[in-house]
Chain A
Amino acid sequence: EMQLVESGGGLVQPGGSLRLSCEVSGFTISSSWMHWVRQAPGKGLVWVSRISEDGRVTNYVDSVKGRFTISRDDAKNTLYLQMNSLRPEDTAVYYCVRVVVTDVTYWFHPWGQGTLVTVSS
């Protein structure tokens, strides 16, 4: 069974940093595109970042470019999101997601249970 377990969320002051982790079991992250998606309290889903199977390609939503860095440790089968210069508007539940890409389509599955990041003084 594929499972993704996020950790590392918590309360941080504006301008601070956090590193989120996503421990994966049931598949190897080196064979998958891995993504982060966030959801502010009571709001919708927002795609944040992705990393390719070989780690060479990373992309970010404009609002986090230059502040967030996605990475992974294949030996630990773990995905990370380093978040610096945090702002109150970064407050959200952060989900890690495996994205399956085929020749013609893609899908986001499975999702982790999420970890809450709260940016507040």
Chain B
Amino acid sequence: ENVLTQSPGTLSLSPGERATLSCRASQSVNSNFLAWYQQKPGQAPRLLIYATSSRATGIPDRFRGSGSGTDFTLTISRLEPEDFAVYYCQHYSDSSLFTFGPGTKVEI
């Protein structure tokens, strides 16, 4: 089973700062199958990034995904007030099917 680990668990930042979120897999991941989701309190998750670096429709360009192999990163260049949320990485494999990481909370 390919386990996803996200760090840090919580990231305390201020609006305008840069956020760097890490997602590490226990085994190498096909980068076409690595996605990121944002979830705000009381809301359903929302697709941000798919295939490691492709932004979903309507997602601002301050969100950038990168990485390969076992190490992937979501970078938010300048935090806006609406960006404070929990972020999950997710990947697909034939053996484990769909796996989510435990999430990183970005808080003020």
**Which residues of A are in contact with B by a Cβ distance under 8 Å?**
35, 37, 44-47, 50, 59, 61, 95, 104-114
Knowing A111-B44, A111-B46, A113-B44, the reply to whether A59 touches B37 (Cβ < 8 A) is no
Contact with A along B16-27 (1 / 0, CB 8 A): 000000000000
Specify which chain B residues have a CB less than 8 angstroms from the CB of A108 in the assembled complex.
35, 37, 45, 47, 90
Dominant secondary structure of chain B at its interface with chain A: strand
Closest beta carbon of chain B to A117's beta carbon, Å: 15
A107 vs B50: C-alpha distance in the bound complex, in angstroms? 6
Instruction: Give chain B nearest CB distance to A97 CB in angstroms.
Output: 8
17 A–B pairs (Cβ distance < 8 Å), ordered by A? A44-B88, A44-B100, A45-B37, A45-B100, A47-B97, A47-B98, A47-B100, A106-B92, A107-B35, A107-B51, A108-B35, A108-B47, A108-B90, A109-B47, A109-B56, A110-B47, A113-B44
B90 to chain A, nearest CB (A): 7
Question: B29-43 CB contact bits vs A (8 Å, 1 = yes)?
Answer: 000110101010001
Interface presence of B67 (CB below 8 A) = no
Which 8 residue pairs are nearest across A and B when measured between Cβ atoms?
A47-B98, A107-B50, A111-B44, A105-B51, A109-B47, A45-B100, A105-B32, A44-B103
